[in-house]
Structure 1
């Protein structure tokens, strides 16, 4: 199996030699922790975890689609939050991106993320094609 770097024009790539946003090995796509940073590198400011989660889930979707899959191919997520008491807002956003069996998920509260305005970070693993749905 070969490792393939997956890119989407909708998701800003990190500087060279830092990390990959998404790698595909066989039928598995690994999406690095995504935050609500926009294409300009600035955090998309929202007053709630819901707004930032929508941005993050869209970035994950863009990368999974670029890898040949659909969001329902995501089987595992790890969500890091700075305010665990607001987790219901993340679940509300998640419902807008998944259907059927939701991914296995771990939610962890951390003391801080890369910038103070970042409220959450989500990493995901997708098995491309496992949902039986075809990418659009």
Structure 2
């Protein structure tokens, strides 16, 4: 029988109770919520450019994947939300620093706004532990 397990990392602040989980594991699949460049203090944003924010987000994602026993190349799908579609170049530059081989399937979605005006990028994804070999 499958069981849902919350995955946490000391490097990634969790949301307040009753809000959401950053990462859930069911069997060998990880479900990672939309992560932003919100710092662990919960108020400040890390990075002023799309590249800096995406790099920070991928770093947080890496901490969660590794806490579950995986690696970034186990990621199979990403959905990237940006407040300006032109931000794709910075996001893709950061992404190339975290993945090798077959990159995750990915969608880039332009949105009017995210949780705070200074948040330019939000990324969610799924990983299959052991998928990278």
- Same fold, judged at TM 0.5 (above): yes
Partner of 1:117: 118
Partner of 1:102: 103
Gaps of 5+ in 1: none
Query: In the superposition, relative to structure 1, how do residues 90 and 11 fare at CA in structure 2: closer, same or farther (>3 Å)?
Result: same
Partner of 1:42: 43
Matched, 1:28 2:29: yes
Mapped partners of 2:94, 2:14: distance in 1: 24
Matched, 1:2 2:3: yes
**Residues 39, 46 of structure 2: 8 Å contact kept:** no
**Residues 55, 95 of structure 2: 8 Å contact kept:** yes
**Residues 23, 31 of structure 2: 8 Å contact kept:** yes
Note the C-alpha offset of 1:45.
Answer: 4.1
CA RMSD of aligned residues (A): 0.8
Matched, 1:67 2:77: no
Note the C-alpha offset of 1:25.
Answer: 0.1
Instruction: List structure 1 segments (4+ residues) > 3 angstroms apart after TM superposition.
Output: none
Mapped partners of 1:123, 1:27: distance in 2: 17
Aligned residue pair count: 132
Note the C-alpha offset of 1:96.
Answer: 0.4
Residues 8-29 of structure 1 deviation map (CA, whole Å, 9 limit, x = unaligned):
0000000001100000000000
Note the C-alpha offset of 1:131.
Answer: 0.5
Provide the TM-score with structure 1 as the length reference: 0.95
Gaps of 5+ in 2: none
Partner of 2:128: 127
Give the secondary structure class of the aligned counterpart of 2:34. strand
